[in-house]
Amino acid sequence: MTGSGSAEDAQEEPYLLGTDSDERHRLETQHRLWADWAHDLWDRAGFGPGDRLLDLGCGPGFAALELAERVGAEGRVLAVDESARFIGALAQEAGRRGLAQLTARVERVEALRLDPGSLDGAFARWLFCFLPDPVPVIERAVSGLRSGGRLVVWDYLNYNATALHPRSPAFERVLAAVYESWRRTGGDLNVGERLPGLIAGAGCRLVELVPLARFARPGTALWQWPTGFFFGYVPKLVEAGLLTAAECEAFEAEWREREHDPGAFLSAPPMVGIIAEKR
Ligand SMILES: C[S@@+](CC[C@H](N)C(=O)[O-])C[C@H]1O[C@@H](n2cnc3c(N)ncnc32)[C@H](O)[C@@H]1O
C-alpha cells in the first residue's frame, strides 16, 4: 500500500460536498447502506481474486478497501481521488488492515495516468455527476483496460423523480435547489442518462444496465441516507442563496412531520449501474 498527499493538506480544494470529517462519515454510512448493491455489480462484472482494478474518484475509499479484499494479495487496486485528505485517510486504513495490494493516489481524474491495457476492471461510483465533461475521463479509464476488461459505473439517472410521499412542497423546493447547485459547478444529477451512450462511444460493449432504485421509509436504516444528506446540505444551499432560511425551516418541519406518518416514504433518487466491456 502506498499513499501520496497529506491528511493536513492546507491546499485542499474540496469538491461540492466537501472533504471534512462530516462528509467522510456521510460517505461511510452511504457505502454501508449500498454495499450489497456494489458487491452485486462487482459479481456481475466478474471482479475477483487476482484482478487488477481501478477505483476512480474513490473518496475515503470504503469501496476501494473492499475491492482490495476481493482481489486478494495476488491482485492490485489503484484508488484515485483529487482529495489529499481522503487519500491520506485511505492509505492509513489500508495500512492498518495490511492491504499491501492497494495503492492510493492523489490525482484529478481528468489527468489520470494509466499504463494502456494494464487493468482488468475499473469502478466509478458517484463521480461522473460532479464532472463538467465525462468524456475524457471515460476515455482515460477505458485506455487503461485490457481488451475484455470491465468498466462498472454507478451514478444518478433522473434526479427529478425523487419524491417524498405524501408530497411535500417544501421538499420539492429543496430538490430544485440541490439540482441547481450541481448545475452551477458544471455537474449533472441526470448524468446517468448520457453515460451508457458515452461509454459505448468510447469503445465498449454494454453488458448490462442495472436499476438502482429504492424506497426509504422513516425508521429504517436506509432513511438515514436522505436524512443525513439533506440536513447537512440544505443549510449550505441557504448560504449559497439558493434557498431562504424560511424555506430551510419549512423543509425541516415537513420532513420531521413525515417521520411520524406511518404511510410516508421517499422514492430515492433513481440511479443506474452500468457494466461495460472493452472491445
Ligand atoms: C460522492 S464522493 C464518492 C466517493 C466514492 N466513489 C464512493 O462511492 O463512496 C465523490 C468523490 O469524487 C471525487 N472527485 C470529484 N471530482 C474529481 C476529479 N475531477 N478528480 C478526482 N476526484 C474527484 C471527490 O473528491 C470525492 O471524493
Ligand 1 atom at minimum distance from 86 CA: 27
Task: Answer yes or no: is the C-beta of 110 below 6 A from any ligand 1 atom.
Answer: yes
Task: Answer yes or no: is the C-beta of 27 below 6 A from any ligand 1 atom.
Answer: yes
Q: Per-residue confidence at 15, pLDDT binned at 50, 70, 90?
A: confident
Peptide bond preceding 116 in cis form (omega within 30 of 0)? no
User: Closest residue (by CA) to atom 26 of ligand 1?
Assistant: 59
- Partners of 156 in the beta sheet? 271
Helix, strand, coil shares, percent, the chain, to 5: 45, 20, 30
Task: Answer yes or no: is the C-beta of 90 below 6 A from any ligand 1 atom.
Answer: no
16-71 residue pLDDT tens? 888 889 899 999 999 999 999 999 999 999 999 999 999 999 999 999 999 999 99
Section 168-174 average pLDDT: 97
User: What is the DSSP annotation of 216-241?
Assistant: E-TTSGGGHHHHHHHHHHHHHHHHTT
Ligand 1 atom at minimum distance from 83 CA: 25
Task: Answer yes or no: is the C-beta of 134 below 6 A from any ligand 1 atom.
Answer: no
Mutate to test the pocket of ligand 1, among 127, 131, 135 (most ligand atoms within 8 A of CB): 127
Task: Answer yes or no: is the C-beta of 271 below 6 A from any ligand 1 atom.
Answer: no
What CA–CA distances, in Å, run from 108 to 186, 196, 273? 16, 22, 23
Task: Answer yes or no: is the C-beta of 86 below 6 A from any ligand 1 atom.
Answer: yes
Q: What pLDDT is recorded for position 20?
A: 87
pLDDT at 99 over 60: yes
Cell of 101: 495490494
CA distance 81 to 70: 20
Q: What pLDDT is recorded for position 12?
A: 75
Mean of per-residue pLDDT scores for the chain: 95
Q: What pLDDT is recorded for position 16?
A: 87
Label residue 150 left, alpha or beta by phi (over 0 means left) and psi (-120 to 50 means alpha): beta
Task: Answer yes or no: is the C-beta of 128 below 6 A from any ligand 1 atom.
Answer: no
Query: What residues contact 112, with CB distance under 8 A and at least 6 apart?
Result: 56, 80, 137, 140, 141, 144
247-276 residue pLDDT tens? 999 999 999 999 999 999 999 999 999 999
Section 132-144 average pLDDT: 98
- Look up the pTM and report it: 0.95
Pairing verdict, β 119-125 and 52-56: parallel
189-229 residue pLDDT tens? 999 999 999 999 999 999 999 999 999 999 999 999 999 99
Burial of 180-196, coded b for 16+ CB within 10 Å and e otherwise, reads: ebbeeeebbbbbbeebb
Q: What pLDDT is recorded for position 251?
A: 98
